[in-house]
Amino acid sequence: MQTSAWLILIFPLAGTLINAFGWRVLPGKACGWIGTAAIGAAFIAAVATFIALQDRAEDQKQVVFVAWDYANTVGVDGKISILIDPLSIFMALVVTGVSTLIHLYAVAYLWKDRGYARFFAYLNYFVFSMLLLVLAANFLLLIIGWAFVGAASYLLISFWYRRTTATTAGIKAFVINVVGDVGLVIGTFFIFRHSHTLDFLGTFDSASRDFAGHQGALTAGLIFLLVGAFAKSAQVPLHTWLPDAMEGPTPVSALIHAATMVTAGVYLIARMHPLFELSPAAETVGAVIGCVTLLIAGTIALAVTDLKRVIAYSTMSQIGYMVMGVSAGAYVAGLFHLMTHAFFKALLFMAAGSVISAMGGEQSMDRMSGFRRAMPFTFVAFIVGGLALAAVPPFSGFFSKDEILTDIGARGGLWWILVVGGYIGAILTAIYTWRMIFRTFWGDPCPEARDLEEGHLYHPEAPFNPSNGEIEDNDVGFPGPEHMIAERSGEMKIAMSVLAVLAIIGGLLQIPFVTDALGHFLDPTFADSNLDLSPSDGLVVVGLILGAGLSLLGIWIAYVVWVKRPGTSTAVRERLHPLYKLFVNKWYFDELINAIVVRPFAWAGRFGQQTFERVVVNGVFVGGTTGIVKAGSAAARALQNGFLRAYAALLVLGLVGVALYFLLQSS
């Protein structure tokens, strides 16, 4: 098992290096195929490891492989080691599986982009970092993987680096991620202080003893870890980077900002569950923030018109569910939703990429309509993804979201408030998802759709930036001239079909009363959990019916507002104008952060440069020192004036001084 475990990490790294160094000699789409093959091989290695793990006995399912003792000194044990247990293999399988499909999609989608090889090098690097993160066996490697993933996200968001909107978005994402990194490191320190080991298994085993009298330190450390999780998973208030991250190419949005990177926070909380269970305060913080995020994101998604941004806010909302779930103790449910969400969200992004290609790069839903007949395959993909996202039975999303909400309900007491919030979020999800689908595919076909029905793909006269309309060109640093739609590309169709099938049948793993495959699989990891959330049968049935009912209701509401009575949405907008303004301006979080954080820092920077640097450093320190030296040398220079008598006078003065010294000494 050790070989296959390390191969999971080595294949993506090899893919990166080959693409990065050999791109000049690799012809055509070879870079893309090498990237895809690398991740495919990693997936096979993950499957092999999974099989090998299942062969082991129940209590031996958490294995650590050490590659190198990096720093083992003065109480710090830093090793390069990976942990193979059900949770990490589950994450590795999801990451590598979905990544392979997205790489396949990107082979076709980014064809003719001048940065083709660079894209696949970055994408492989990202997968390598994400795998490092989930396979890490100690805090050190976790932090390293965390930071690498942030860097990969920056590189990929600013992939079209000549677009100022893209680079600004990349910087914004990176800065907020770094805030999270700082939280992660400080949290690690708080925990390490009392556990005295960086190893996960070591920390968890002795957690209850180590933190017995240090509840405050534990809670503080966990809240710092949560800051890291929120920054990476785009929860309120560190979420403002995710919508802007849609500046990256669609495969990037699909991979990083839907299926994998943003789920790192969920993985973190699930991994640290023994610590979280010792600190109810931290659990509450996580769950409440998750609930707040899912509601806020849901409302914003109702109002925005950029296609990719609707899906981005939907991601934020669904991750809110996952965070809420794992914080409350519903680990299996939360991770199940992580998996199903990866399937249908990646599918939705891929389909959205196809639609945007058909529009020639335009992303605003205001200009889209009636693509039903023009793009049948994409239409079906959207329908499947939309049904799964809206949690309609028997699609996968239904079972996963449902399980989270019933498990939280099983905790009773004040947790019911979160459950109610979750159900409100469910109906919002259904509404905004189908708003998106109805607006794009129903109604009269827009000019681009008409062109496509006649068989030719629309191309704008000049390539432009969809966010601000600036004219661009097709050279390196901007998108390439080709726009690939799914109907014309075999690779894209294969990838989307596999994801669609998975979105449909994924729920089979955890049908209540029938199967508990995922629960059994993940049991060894969560066996040490004190919370045994088993909702009563009645609660489960009520949850199933309520969930199904709310999603169908939401779809029906969307149908009425946007298809049957077309003027309704405008009328509602007029009636509830302040509310609409709040939603469309994203609850003014950007302005708030600008005022509280960005402006003071900018002021401090300006102050430092103009005043402090000029007056204190240049004036006092540098100028003062040179002034003193100048004055000293001027004084010394004055002594050498060339007058013989002055020199002689100094000589006599010196003689007088020496004589005085001897006089005083002898007296």
Partner 1 sequence: MNVNWYLIVSSLVFAIGAAGVLTRRNPLVILLCLELMLNAANIALIAFARMWGNAEGQIFAVIVMVVAACEVCIGLGLVVAIYRRRLPIDVDEIRELHG
Partner 2 sequence: MSEVLFFIAGIGAVCGAVGVVMVRNPFYAVLALVFHLLSLAALFLLLQAQFVAAAQVVVYAGAVMVLYVFVVAYVGAAEPPRLRAPVGRGQRAAALAFALALFVELAIAVLGSSLKALDSGGPTVGAEFGSPAQIGELLLTKFLLPFEVASFLLLIAAVGAVVLARRRGGIGEEVEPVAAAQYALPPGVGTMREAVGGPTAREPEPLELPGGEGGW
> Under the rule (CB under 8 A), what is the footprint of partner 2?
641, 643, 645-646, 649, 652-653, 655-656, 659-660, 662-663, 667
Question: Residues 494, 502: contact at Cβ < 8 Å?
Answer: no
Closest-CA residue to 558 (of 358, 348, 326, 390): 390
Largest CA distance in the chain: 119
**H-assigned helices in 278-414:** 280-303, 307-328, 331-358, 376-389, 396-409
Nearer to partner 1, 620 or 656 (CB): 656
By CB under 8 A, the residues from 620 to 639 that bind partner 1 are: 636-637, 639
For residue 249, whether the previous peptide bond is cis, meaning omega lies within 30 degrees of 0, is no
Nearer to partner 1, 570 or 633 (CB): 633
Q: C-beta of 664: minimal distance to partner 1 in Å?
A: 18
445: Cα within 13 Å, side-chain hemisphere: 16
Q: Does 645 bind partner 1 (CB under 8 A)?
A: yes
Nearer to partner 2, 622 or 660 (CB): 660
Nearer to partner 2, 468 or 640 (CB): 640
Q: How far apart (Å, rounded) are the C-alpha atoms in residues 189 and 206?
A: 16
86-109 and 30-54 helices, crossing angle to 10°: 160
Question: How many chain residues are in contact with partner 1, going by CB under 8 A?
Answer: 12
With CB under 8 A as the contact rule, the residue among 508, 617, 622, 652 that binds partner 1 is: 652
Q: Does 649 bind partner 1 (CB under 8 A)?
A: yes
Q: Which does 527 bind (CB under 5 to 8 A by kind): partner 1, partner 2, none?
A: none
Q: How far is CA 443 from the centre of its chain?
A: 35
Q: Does 641 bind partner 1 (CB under 8 A)?
A: yes
Q: How far apart (Å, rounded) are the C-alpha atoms in residues 334 and 513?
A: 18
Question: Residues 277, 329: contact at Cβ < 8 Å?
Answer: yes
Q: Does 644 bind partner 1 (CB under 8 A)?
A: yes
Q: Does 538 bind partner 1 (CB under 8 A)?
A: no
Q: Does 662 bind partner 1 (CB under 8 A)?
A: no
Nearer to partner 1, 527 or 659 (CB): 659
3-state DSSP assignment of residue 346: helix
Q: Would you say how long the chain is, in residues?
A: 667
Nearer to partner 2, 615 or 646 (CB): 646
Is the dihedral angle over the CA atoms 171, 253, 466, 30 positive or is it negative?
Answer: positive
Q: Does 657 bind partner 1 (CB under 8 A)?
A: no
Closest-CA residue to 308 (of 258, 383, 269): 258
Nearer to partner 1, 641 or 665 (CB): 641
Q: C-beta of 30: minimal distance to partner 2 in Å?
A: 57
Phi then psi for residue 138, to 5 deg, are -150, 170
3-state DSSP assignment of residue 80: strand
Q: C-beta of 637: minimal distance to partner 2 in Å?
A: 15
Q: Which does 667 bind (CB under 5 to 8 A by kind): partner 2, partner 1, none?
A: partner 2
Nearer to partner 2, 571 or 656 (CB): 656
Q: Which does 663 bind (CB under 5 to 8 A by kind): partner 1, partner 2, none?
A: partner 2
Which amino acid appears at position 166 of this protein? Answer: A
Using CB under 8 A, list all residues that contact partner 1: 636-637, 639-645, 648-649, 652
